[in-house]
Structure 1
Amino acid sequence: MGGVALDNGPSGVKAPDGGWGWAVLFGCFVITGFSYAFPKAISVFFKELIREFGVGYSDTAWISSILLAMLYGTGPLCSILVNRFGCRPVMMVGGLFAAVGMILASAATNIIHIYLCTGVITGLGLALNFQPSLIMLNRYFNEKRPLANGLAAAGSPVALCCLSPLGQVLQYNYGWRGGFLILGGMLLNCCVCGALMRPLVAPKKAEDEEKQVAATVEKKKPKAKLLDFSVFKDRGFIIYTVAASIMVLGLFVPPVFVVSYAKELGNEDTKSALLLTILGFIDIFARPTCGVIAGLKWVRPRCVYFFSFALIFNGTTDLLGSMSKNYTSLVVFCIFFGISYGMVGALQFEVLMAIVGTEKFPSAIGLVLLVEALAVLVGPPSAGRLLDITKNYMFVFLLAGTEVALSSIVLATCNFFCIRKSPPAPEAELEMAKGETEMEQLKKPLGGEGEEEEDEHRIVEVEKGQQEERDKQKEEEMEDSVQTNSTKVEDIVKDGAERNGNVTNPETSL
């Protein structure tokens, strides 16, 4: 079985879809906001850093790049730590790392110190918070999981709209050193969010049952895998990983270049920066709305294709946005891009959860983020290189749109042709046919005097067969009560996925 975390809870625990889960959702909302918005918000201090250390803009841009690389590239490390120590301790330590990194950076004497403190230490701290928060959200929600993912993903645009103006205020009043120090204190809230990730508690009956078999568990229980590479045997996971890698090549390019594109068209700086505000405002409402739609009974079994639609929507928006010739057309582009970008953000982890299930999700997300990290480092720089060669933003947006649209085609077509639906179990079909035959025999109308005795004989035979089955079940129950505790443990492990409330999606199951 996949990566089993210490706080995964007993196998008899079902996702509550509420209760303390809403506190977990709030913590995930805050963590997602810090993780995605912080690398962008830190850019407001770049001018002060350039003046302080005498470096170029490209040198300071490495701070955000290292932050993103740590957030994505340390995915397998986070999976190992979660599977070894559990989500709550990893998040508490990650919150301390994130805060300490910014506090140390406030006393930096050169740009290398900021690379190490803000980029590496703070980036690692945010990574240790982001991934475990998604894992806990997956454990607490099942039926309402699409909505929960949409609400949690909304933390990114909300935090971006708050942290960027806050950074400008801090820089104006306290300088970049005071701003770093205050932001470091704010990151201590990640520890509070980590404390909210309470492990699921088993029912009393399940606890008593586990106490009875505790000794046998220690002897029989296989060693938990710190990083489960068996997810690569899942065809749906491989398709998702390939499509996601192509997606991130172009997904983050338009927000990086849209402001420069507006300036190139002759718009002033303030007016150009307003485009990102419009994009973020639309994104705030798009993510929860998409989560609600993804949770509908007809849509949820087809969430992979809904995700493909979101990608093709985003890619088409980029292609059409490349034709923008004035500020009004760029505003329209940002509105539609905000909608499609929010849809992608709300669905990307929901689809991964549906593909691999709860038990393998901690390992799966780490491996996916590692592969995406390579694409994230290649995507924006390659677009910038294309801009240097062509001197035309149209080709940048065309490249981004083509990459995102290609990922949609790969995801949809491969799932349609390579993933087949699971046929019903032969035993279940046999039992169903047997039950229907017996019911037809019982409901068959009685004939005349010659057929009356035959009908009565048939009914007696059916009742006799049912009585024999009941006797057989009683004997099996008696045998089960005498069985060893090791057999009970095997039964508990075997049925663990069903008791956790996971339902295999026919669209993503082999």
Structure 2
Amino acid sequence: MGCPIGMMAYGPVTQVLLGTYGWRGTTLLVGGISFHLVACAMLVRLDPSSSSPDNEQYQEVSVNDGDENQSSGEGRDCPDDKTDNSKKSCCDPDHRQNRTGMCCRNIVKAIDMALLTDVRFVLLICARCTASFTYSAWVVYMVSHGQFQGLSEIQASFLPTAFGVGNVIAKLVLPLLQQIGIKPSMTFWACFGAGIVGVSFLLDAFIRPFIGQLALTGFVGVGYGVFFQALDVMVRFLVSDDRFVSVLGWQGMFTGIAGTLGGLISGWIYEWTGGFSIVLCVFAGVTLLSIPFFVTEALYAKRKKL
């Protein structure tokens, strides 16, 4: 919820700062505001009630001489004598190779590369990458597109506000509908959100009035809010709790790459065409491409349960 609320205030506030302090002062102020995240993170502390009670403390364990000699003997890395048996010790190349292989297996296990063989996870990641491809580029070029369509700087600065309002509405309405008994599948909500985003992008490519652009930008925010919320629910229940961190890690890596490519390719298309109309049509097509991924994932999950 914090991202759309910040988006609502970012456009107008940044425009006011630009008119008052210029680019340099605005950048410094925005950077200072962002730096508050570091202070907030440093102030986070564990709840004392969740820590171990006072009676759970480390206790000293007595060790006799025999156990101490045995442990010290096991702790030796290499034997001192040069006998034939030493060739099979831990100093052998074979033993070192085994240790290297074990280390590699532990690394692979830690990053949980087995997730990449999960068909449902791959399909959901592909769907999220299509949305991240368009989302990151849209956030960058939203105001520029409004100015290109004939809006003033002040009018274009309110487009992020409309986007944030629509995103907040989507995030509030979807759980409310679930509470009152309207419970379609998350696949339906994700496809519905992708459809709203795709249609809004197509219309936004040709709408010039300020009210029309404001409304369509709000609908884009609604679509993304429904899309990402439904997708987060599907990903959350895809694996157990102990693998969820790995899921977030892989998801962040692939969506980060998709977002970077989205901004780069959108800039190239703008330079080639001299406008954002074709860019928005590409956005619509890429976003609608997520619908086949969602449908395939739902059919695969249903077939797997049989």
- TM-score, shorter chain, exceeding 0.5: yes
Aligned ranges for residues 29-44 of structure 1 at < 5 Å? none
- Give aligned-pair identity as a percent: 18
Partner of 1:158: 5
Residue among 11, 35, 40 paired with 1:189:
40
Q: Tell me: CA distance 1:197–1:391, structure 2 relative to 1, closer, same or farther (3 Å).
A: farther
Matches of 1:196 and 1:165, distance apart in 2: 37
Matches of 1:233 and 1:317, distance apart in 2: 35
**TM superposition shift of 1:253:** 2.8
Matches of 2:17 and 2:206, distance apart in 1: 36
Q: Tell me: CA distance 1:314–1:385, structure 2 relative to 1, closer, same or farther (3 Å).
A: same
**TM superposition shift of 1:159:** 2.5
Matches of 2:296 and 2:207, distance apart in 1: 31
Question: Which residue identity lines up with residue 309 of structure 1 in the other structure?
Answer: F
**TM superposition shift of 1:362:** 0.6
Matches of 1:255 and 1:185, distance apart in 2: 22
Partner of 2:172: 288
Question: Deviations along 1:238-283, whole A, 9 cap, x unmatched?
Answer: 1111222222222333333232222122221101111211211222
The alignment's C-alpha RMSD in Å is 3.3
**TM superposition shift of 1:376:** 0.9
Q: Tell me: CA distance 1:321–1:228, structure 2 relative to 1, closer, same or farther (3 Å).
A: same
Question: Which residue identity lines up with residue 132 of structure 2 in the other structure?
Answer: V
| Contact 1:386–1:395 (8 Å) recurs in 2 | yes
Question: Which residue identity lines up with residue 291 of structure 2 in the other structure?
Answer: S
Matches of 1:199 and 1:245, distance apart in 2: 40
| Equivalent position SS for 1:195 | coil
Q: Tell me: CA distance 1:299–1:182, structure 2 relative to 1, closer, same or farther (3 Å).
A: closer
| Contact 1:237–1:356 (8 Å) recurs in 2 | no
Matches of 1:178 and 1:201, distance apart in 2: 39
Question: Which residue identity lines up with residue 38 of structure 2 in the other structure?
Answer: L
Aligned ranges for residues 420-435 of structure 1 at < 5 Å? 420-423=303-306
**TM superposition shift of 1:395:** 0.6
Partner of 2:67: none
| Contact 1:245–1:372 (8 Å) recurs in 2 | yes
Matches of 1:197 and 1:405, distance apart in 2: 45
Partner of 1:429: none
Aligned ranges for residues 164-175 of structure 1 at < 5 Å? 172=21, 175=25
Partner of 2:91: none
| Equivalent position SS for 2:206 | coil
| Contact 1:311–1:408 (8 Å) recurs in 2 | yes
Question: Which residue identity lines up with residue 191 of structure 1 in the other structure?
Answer: M
Matches of 2:12 and 2:156, distance apart in 1: 16
Partner of 1:337: 220
| Contact 1:236–1:419 (8 Å) recurs in 2 | no
Question: In the alignment, does 2:117 pair up with 1:266?
Answer: no
| Contact 1:291–1:346 (8 Å) recurs in 2 | no
Residue among 115, 122, 128 paired with 1:244:
128
Partner of 1:384: 267
Question: Which residue identity lines up with residue 218 of structure 2 in the other structure?
Answer: I
| Contact 2:11–2:158 (8 Å) recurs in 1 | no
Question: Deviations along 1:412-462, whole A, 9 cap, x unmatched?
Answer: 234325652524xxxxxxxxxxxxxxxxxxxxxxxxxxxxxxxxxxxxxxx
| Contact 2:270–2:279 (8 Å) recurs in 1 | yes
Partner of 2:162: 278
Partner of 1:369: 252
Partner of 2:294: 411
Aligned residues: 249
Question: Which residue identity lines up with residue 413 of structure 1 in the other structure?
Answer: T
Q: Tell me: CA distance 1:319–1:179, structure 2 relative to 1, closer, same or farther (3 Å).
A: closer
Aligned ranges for residues 118-267 of structure 1 at < 5 Å? 154-162=1-9, 172=21, 175=25, 177=28, 180-181=31-32, 183-185=34-36, 187-192=38-43, 194-195=44-45, 225-267=109-151
| Contact 2:4–2:165 (8 Å) recurs in 1 | yes
Question: Which residue identity lines up with residue 337 of structure 1 in the other structure?
Answer: V
Q: Tell me: CA distance 1:229–1:322, structure 2 relative to 1, closer, same or farther (3 Å).
A: same
Matches of 2:158 and 2:229, distance apart in 1: 24
| Contact 1:251–1:404 (8 Å) recurs in 2 | no
Residue among 286, 308, 323 paired with 2:191:
308
Question: Which residue identity lines up with residue 215 of structure 2 in the other structure?
Answer: V
Matches of 1:201 and 1:421, distance apart in 2: 42
Matches of 1:314 and 1:197, distance apart in 2: 41
Question: Deviations along 1:34-79, whole A, 9 cap, x unmatched?
Answer: xxxxxxxxxxxxxxxxxxxxxxxxxxxxxxxxxxxxxxxxxxxxxx
Matches of 1:240 and 1:295, distance apart in 2: 25
Q: Tell me: CA distance 1:373–1:356, structure 2 relative to 1, closer, same or farther (3 Å).
A: same
Matches of 1:294 and 1:342, distance apart in 2: 15
Matches of 1:399 and 1:178, distance apart in 2: 35
| Contact 2:5–2:164 (8 Å) recurs in 1 | yes
**TM superposition shift of 1:293:** 3.5
Q: Tell me: CA distance 1:386–1:163, structure 2 relative to 1, closer, same or farther (3 Å).
A: closer
Partner of 1:317: 200
For structure 1, the residue ranges without an aligned partner over 5 or more in a row are: 1-153, 208-222, 424-510
Q: Tell me: CA distance 1:323–1:265, structure 2 relative to 1, closer, same or farther (3 Å).
A: closer
Matches of 2:183 and 2:235, distance apart in 1: 16
Question: Which residue identity lines up with residue 411 of structure 1 in the other structure?
Answer: F
Matches of 2:302 and 2:246, distance apart in 1: 22
**TM superposition shift of 1:365:** 1.1
**TM superposition shift of 1:378:** 0.5
Matches of 1:178 and 1:247, distance apart in 2: 30
Matches of 2:196 and 2:209, distance apart in 1: 22
Matches of 1:372 and 1:246, distance apart in 2: 8
**TM superposition shift of 1:387:** 1.2
